[in-house]
Amino acid sequence: MKHVYLDNAATTRVRDEVISKMQDALANNYGNPSSTHSYGRTAKTAIESARKTIAKYMNALPSEIIFTSGGTEADNMIIRSAVKDCGVKTIITSKIEHHAVLHTVEEMEQSGLVDVLYVRLDQVGNPDLEHLQELLQKDSSKKLVSLMHVNNEIGNLLDIKQVAKMCKEHGALFHSDSVQSIGHYAWDVKEVPVDFLAAAAHKFHGPKGIGFAFIRKNSGLKCLISGGSQERGFRAGTESFHNIVGLEEAFVLAYDHLEKEQKYVKDLKSYFIEKVKKEIPQAKFNGLSGNLEKSTYTLANVCLPITPEKGLMLLFHLDIKGIACSKGSACQSGSDSGSHVLNEILSGEDLKRPSLRFSFSKYNTKEEIDYTVEVLKEFTQK
């Protein structure tokens, strides 16, 4: 049986170089970074080196990079602290954000801490920037805008520079869940005046359980997790040293090889789109995922011409054939409610048909795509 992994938007294979760096850290650098002896100082120095490295690639200050357990924690830290510490009374977001954002703002609204406004979406899932402008002008309350740079299900790219500019003009804070973006696109936080970003290492061939928040200097945010003074007081708790050095290695490799790997993966996606259109002409690409210029090069979301009854067996059939993909975000697996993203943008008829997300990486090949599309074709024609 072949084994084809096309679920890279959920998580990626860890690079061999990253594994080696982490193994060395686990075996030889086991001191607590808060300890004052040589073992602790060695670990602390490596953590601060990783912070400086990431900051340099993003044109940020080292003090603006705060290590977290991943994107979900970073999103929660930023949103909750913005309300608690910065006087935010209104949050503007969209209904197709990651649940790390949606569930957090819903909970805060239910607690009476903020009002939540949702920007309208067009039929392919893009936020209506004219409506965003209206919401920013709605009243004089302190606002936080939270819109993701790359949608994790349909791949749409936000005009993040324009949104950041609009927020700045209206005195609003701007947070972007950039988990599907950092490690795949170059970032310059001086050029794009975003206030807060969230990143996760396992989306760019690093380890799970580690990520970081970019928190712009003088934003006013304070700690969310109390205890020790780690992470400049933003996040208490003993640092996950081996994961941090793994994150640094994955981050450096991602950006040192960015242009080459972008081209390779974009060519794979282009090939996948062409094959699907040729072999399964009735298939549709959801959102803008079939557009190579207006969506991320890393994923495609396909609505297949299959009955709902037959669709129930699709993922099982692909798994039997050794193909890994997903019907939406891995974070909502096990849910019977379907994709909240597709529920917002698809017609009732298309919602009845199965949609799958295929996401690509440097480790995939055209031969794997040939095999995957052939399996899909055979299943749809049965």
Residues acting as catalytic residues = 331
Tell me the sheet residues that pair with 144.
Answer: 91, 173
Determine the Cα–Cα distance for residues 377 and 283; give it in Å rounded to an integer.
10
Q: What's the token pair of residue 144?
A: 């936080």
- 8 A C-beta contact, residue 53 and residue 248: yes
Q: What's the token pair of residue 285?
A: 């690409």
- 8 A C-beta contact, residue 181 and residue 151: no
Label the pairing between strands 143-146 and 115-118: unpaired
Reduce the DSSP state of residue 281 to 3 states and report it: coil
Looking at the chain, which runs of residues are DSSP E strands? 4-5, 65-68, 90-93, 115-118, 143-146, 173-177, 196-200, 211-215, 284-285, 299-303, 323-324, 355-359
- 8 A C-beta contact, residue 308 and residue 361: no
Torsion region of 240: left, alpha or beta (phi above 0 gives left; psi -120 to 50 gives alpha): beta
Question: Kindly report the CA angle at 259 between 261 and 66, in degrees rounded to 5?
Answer: 90
